[in-house]
Amino acid sequence: MLRTEFGLFVFSFGEFLTILGNIGLTPWDTVTMGISYHVPMTFGQVHVVSALIIVIIDLILGEKIGVGTILDAVSCGTFVDLFDRLIAFQGAANKWAGLAFLILGLLIMATGQVFYMSGGLSCGPRDSLMVAVGKRLPKIPIGYVDILMKIVLVGIALLLGGPVGAGTLIAMFGMGFAMQIVYGLFKFDPRKINQEGIATSIKHLFGN
């Protein structure tokens, strides 16, 4: 469980760095921020609520929901809000610095994914959705499946008035490529991980 939570912490820090880039949020985050413009909730709170809704979609698509899924749903938004309160930094001073923040953030996010997915406690809601779609497109590399999903998300973000910028377009393709690079270094494919459902996790916890 510590491996999973550590991975989520790393992922959230990468996500926070992409926000500090100030050149446009990642596709998922533009949707989250777009929703926050229309409801009396912080970015982190919307992140948590939307993650719980995606959990329901994952269940409908037949993905396992485990301890890792729940930890992701409640932790990532909370961690991002925590970083925002603790780190007194207003963001990148120029576009080149913003691009560096974005690229570094994407690579760190992909690294966090490797840690928490390989923990075997089930993927986070958004990554479970990616894996579910990936299973239905087995001939397409998982990184490219992610890119296709991001294109759809950017369309939704535009409808919500989310902060779509140059960084969003870079992240739309960059996250998939970052995953291909980092996953390749770790020789990791999330579709091959036998994720543990929450019922099995409970049995292990109580030694039955």
Q: 132, 63 in Cβ contact below 8 A?
A: yes
Distance (Å, whole) CA 165 – CA 22: 9
- What is the predicted pLDDT for the residue at 143? 73
Q: What is the pLDDT of residues 69-87, one digit of tens each?
A: 888 888 888 898 899 888 8
Can you tell me whether residue 77 is helix, strand or coil? helix
Mean pLDDT of the chain: 84
Distance (Å, whole) CA 20 – CA 105: 9
pLDDT band at residue 204 under the 50/70/90 scheme:
low
Distance (Å, whole) CA 173 – CA 118: 23
Distance (Å, whole) CA 131 – CA 32: 20
Count CB-CB contacts under 10 A for residue 196: 18
Distance (Å, whole) CA 133 – CA 194: 16
Distance (Å, whole) CA 160 – CA 158: 5
Distance (Å, whole) CA 150 – CA 173: 8
Evaluate if residue 185 carries a pLDDT over 70: yes
Q: Which amino acid is at 142?
A: I
Model's pTM, two decimal places?
Answer: 0.77
Q: What is the pLDDT of residues 28-58, one digit of tens each?
A: 889 999 999 999 998 888 988 998 899 899 8
- What is the predicted pLDDT for the residue at 206? 56
**Which residue has better confidence, 41 or 128?**
41
- What is the predicted pLDDT for the residue at 109? 93
Distance (Å, whole) CA 95 – CA 179: 23
Residue 130 token pair: 């990616």
Distance (Å, whole) CA 94 – CA 178: 23
Can you tell me whether residue 19 is helix, strand or coil? helix
Q: Which of 55-59, 119-123, 157-161 has the highest mean pLDDT?
A: 157-161
